[in-house]
Structure 1
Amino acid sequence: MCGIVACYTSSPEAITSDVVAAGRTMLTRLAHRGPDDTGQARVGAQAWLGHNRLSIVGPANGRQPLGDPGPWSLVCNGEIYNDADLRESLPGHDFTTASDSESALALLNGRGPWAFDRLEGMWALCAATPDGRFVAARDRLGIKPLYWAEIGGLHYFASEMRAFPVDVQHAVAMFPPGCWWTPADGLVRFATAVTAAPTQDGFTAAELEKRTRDVLVDSVRRHLMADVEVGVFLSGGLDSSIVAAVAAAEYTREGRRLKTFAVGVDGSADLLAARDVAAFLGTDHYETVFDADRAVAALDDVVASVESFDAGLIRSAVPNWFLAELASQHVKAVLTGEGADELFAGYGYYHELHRDPAALRRELRRTIELLHGLNLQRCDRVTMAHGLEARVPFLDARVVDHAMSLPDTVKSLEADGLEKGHLRRAFTGWLPERLLWRPKLEFGTGSGAADLLTPYWNQRIGDAELTEDPATGLRSKEELAYYRAFRRALPEVRPDAVLTRFAVA
């Protein structure tokens, strides 16, 4: 996991020393994303690439920008989980490093950007050639971030908005997931968040549950790919508990003990449930506790890192911040349960407002397509702020395609009266029944953050402040507090360029 920066000029005139200096300053602002190493290179006359590295795979020889062999030089943020398969299928490329990012370079050298749809994982990249070609691209779900801006023919790219020069921030926009961009072709979509896979009709419930279990077990195993130790964020809820159960089984098979991490206010539901799960799985379990004073003291840092002021997002980011801080003291990468609710209809409103199976399917697809600006943005930022990599096995391409091809009736409440019954039954025996069938609590609620933060700001911000504030669309006093922190961190970024509303539709 890393932080990347790129500068490209569409003019035949060379990039100036001032632009290179700006790129280096941008790279410095992303030092938290890659504390292990930094690299940079001017590529020809029109491009400059920069990279801060968190060494997870191929730590000995994976320094970027990657170049030889071939004309392209590349910087990449993320993990390519089918790297081994790609290496076997690309015999014409003389691989010189153990870095999984080199498989992306090999694809680009051999087949061009249209081949990016073969990359399985979470990634964002920029690449350039000495003769003036350039490409930027991002994975189909937007698991890894990328932003861009263009001022007078000069293009800037970076992993976070706060990297951009202040006089460029007004032009910053989110680079769209599943797309690549070149100066010649413009923005081109190479993949969608959800593919149109045929529905798996004709299978029994037991057969579908086995398919779900098999694809998830395979994903967790592949997401454990690393040359460093990987832990698990464990809330005690269904999704993270399943991830922990599979990872713990894999580590036990290898003669290792999994590390799990939990957060909450003292006595919160998540802390108690996580202890129960960890005890059952036999993990090395770590906890961190926060209170209102600690939460409020961290807010400016949290908002600056998440780069949003959505109240629900920040409310869940606060406990995530402390959780990442704790985990970073013990491991360099963690698995999380992100994405399971969107794939398997875990939120209550799905079933309250979308009782028709076809309508539910449309709503699930819509929310999956929005994840890159919401939960995935929070997940990436709070972990990378502490030099920690977060991986999301539920959002692996194979898992997404399988889950979205399940018959619509599988995700309804009719069979069990509790959300995600199919997923729960698929992992029968992996967890005790009391844990497997624990009702869902959203992270901000289960950790206790909502009970601390919402009342805190309701007491400290007057009604007139909310109505008189020039910002539009603010929904609460709590969100106004986060908006003010956002403005302190990113004074020139347009709010409409960063705020994704997970509105009930």
Structure 2
Amino acid sequence: MCGIVAAVGEIDDATCRRMLSRIKHRGPDDAGEIHRPHAWLGHQRLSIMDVDGGHQPLTGTGGTTHLVVNGEIYNHRHIRDALGHELFETGSDSEAALHALIADGPVGLARLRGMFALAYLTDDGEFLVARDSVGVKPLYWARREDVTLFASEMRAFEPEDRPLVETFPPGYCWTRNGGLVRFADAVPARVRPARRAAEPGVWDDTLVKSIRETVVSAVENRMMSDVGIGVFLSGGLDSAIVAAVAAEYAERNGEPLPTFAVGAPGSSDLAAARVVAEHLGTEHHEVVMTRENVVEMVPRTVRAIEHFDPSLVRSAVPNLLLAEYASKRVHAVLTGEGADELFAGYSYYHEDPFTDPDALQAELVRTVGELHHLNLQRCDRTTMAFGLEARVPFLDRDVIELALSIPPEHKMVTPEKKLLREAFEGWVPDEILWRGKEQFGDGSGAKEALAELLSDVGEAAGSWQEEAVAEGVELRTREEAGFYRLWREELDGIRPDRTLGLFATT
């Protein structure tokens, strides 16, 4: 929804303002800042909820508490009910986070259900920063002796601070006195190791109904908006399910649902997305990739996603093309991110050593916890590069809790994600419901469109492989070396280490 910058310690206003200006693309509608002795908050706003009254930094009653938020608080109405509507001065969902912190201090973070990175400041010196448990919204920090700096993207930091930049860990809050404290896990603590299935692949209607109702609730919660909202429709199962639920919600509210698909001419993803859109009756848009726009987009993609992993770059190119188009028509989109990690959708989940149920369960938990390094980074950056917010209903805490409580044996049957498919029979056309899994870069046609260009990128890599080795980074291919060169040109000084998720892991 936005971009934030915060600082505590020996503040330099000019530095903070330069940092904020570098992430203006995340919130082109408005900007605001507040400066107190030894603390600074800045905000670039993408106006989605309470367009007229939701300016940030938000200030509490009495003018002594201040907050900036990047993200959405989906249960803000429940928080208003619990704390008292008389406290609230705007219709912004972010104000719920402000009053939760005023009422309960850091413990108030436990009230929040949503995706967020936030910074909170009081006039008496309290300062707190926090990030949602899955890391849907990005946050980075750089710690110097005299000041600690925070920002939504790595590019925000001054060149001299870039060697100090680290990922702020999901599910943690930080205060000057208390340091880093975990307040939530990516996988909720009450999720117990899944019990063994009495008979793998055999389940009752209760489980199927529970999956359907939980996913429907998560999608509907993410339809809140005072401006346009759509769905990225890849043609695969997960985005088709999201689109089906969103289309029904939009119809009940008398609104059209825009859907957006991208692919090369004749690609399987475009064809499949068209089938879903016609079935649901959505306002469908297609972006057709050409070699020319792919060539133009590759350098922009590497710089936008702040990453050089080849598989991530390949899938991000069509995402960036789609985001650029969709941002001119809506302010927010829903995507299908997270379903594969929860329901074992990737092929490698069905190979050794994950043919053992306990090993599979551990790997699913691990990959959900690591999403913020890879897929969620791509999802956030490609959309926010054009001031477009992406929402990920499959990573709702209730969906995560339910999915990871299912015996892993039920996820080892074929076709992959059979439980999820059965839960949405009748919602999605059968030819899509039972369609086999394709990687986005393959189904969209991006792999073929990129092949020639990637060879050129690799040829131009030159000495970057040697420089990467000197920095402790192993580049596996010339293609990756080419992407590393582009990444280094944009983010010179950043240390490419595991704290930033910048080692190729796929």
Instruction: Tell me which interval the TM-score lies in, with the shorter structure as reference length.
Output: over 0.9
Decide which of 80, 103, 111 is 1:87's aligned counterpart.
80
Distance across 2 between alignment mates of 1:374 and 1:468: 22
- Separation in structure 2 between the aligned mates of residue 386 and residue 343 of structure 1, nearest angstrom: 29
Give the 3-state SS of the residue equivalent to 1:479 in structure 2.
Answer: helix
Which residue matches 1:382? 382
Contact 2:460 2:482 in 1 (8 A): no
Q: How far off is 1:452 after superposition?
A: 2.6
Q: Distance in 2 between matches of 1:67 and 1:127?
A: 10
Aligned residue runs from structure 1 range 37-436, under 5 A: 37-43=30-36, 45-69=37-61, 71-91=64-84, 94-195=87-188, 196-198=190-192, 199=194, 204-353=203-352, 354-413=354-413, 417-436=414-433
Partner-residue secondary structure (3-state), 1:48? strand
1:434 and 1:279 map into 2 onto residues whose CA distance is 13
Which residue identity lines up with residue 438 of structure 1 in the other structure? R
How many residue pairs are counted as aligned between the two chains?
A: 493
Does the 8 Å CA contact 1:453/1:478 hold for their aligned counterparts? no
Where do 5+ consecutive residues of structure 2 fail to align? none
Residues in 1 aligned to 2:230 and 2:164: alpha-carbon distance in whole angstroms: 38
Other-structure match for 1:31: 24
Give distance in 2, aligned partners of 1:112 and 1:51. 22
Structure 1 match to 2:501: 499
| Closer/same/farther in 2, CA of residues 460 and 104 from structure 1, 3 Å limit | closer
Q: Deviations over 1:185-242 (max 9, x none)?
A: 0000111100242448799432111000000001111100111121000011000000
User: In 2, are the aligned partners of 1:260 and 1:286 still within 8 Å (CA)?
Assistant: yes
Select the residue among 446, 450, 453 that pairs with 1:453: 450
Q: CA deviation at 1:464?
A: 9.5
The answer as to whether partners of 2:461 and 2:478 remain within 8 angstroms in 1 is no
Letter in 1 for 2:362: R
| CA–CA distance in structure 2, aligned partners of residues 461 and 30 of structure 1 | 29
Whole-angstrom distance in 2 between the partners of 1:502 and 1:80: 32
Query: Displacement of 1:498 after TM fit?
Result: 2.5
Coordinate RMSD, CA, aligned: 1.8
Q: Find the aligned partners of 1:295 and 1:466 in 2 and give their Cα distance.
A: 25
Does the CA-based 8 Å contact 2:256-2:282 persist in structure 1?
Answer: yes
Displacement after TM superposition at 1:449 (Å): 1.3
1:217 and 1:147 map into 2 onto residues whose CA distance is 32
In structure 2, what residue type is equivalent to 1:218?
Answer: S
Report the AA paired with residue 69 of structure 1. Answer: T
Residues 72 and 108 of structure 1 are in contact (CA less than 8 Å); yes or no, is this contact kept in structure 2?
no
Cα contact 2:268–2:443 (8 A) shared by 1: yes
Aligned to 1:12: none
Structure 1 residue 93, shift from structure 2 partner: 6.7
Number of the residue aligned with 1:5? 5
CA distance in 2, matches of 1:296, 1:315: 12
Q: How far has the Cα of 1:91 moved from its partner?
A: 2.5
CA distance in 2, matches of 1:219, 1:302: 29
Structure 1 residues not aligned, in runs of 5+: 10-14
Paired with 2:361 and 2:443, the residues of 1 have a C-alpha distance of: 27
1:351 is matched by which residue type in structure 2? H
2:439 is the alignment partner of 1:438: no
TM-superposed deviation, 1:453: 2.2
Post-superposition offset of 1:487: 0.6
Identity %, equivalent residues: 51
Q: SS state of the match for residue 112, structure 1?
A: helix
Query: Which has the higher mean CA deviation after the structures are superposed, 106-115 or 195-204?
Result: 195-204
SS of equivalent to 1:482: helix
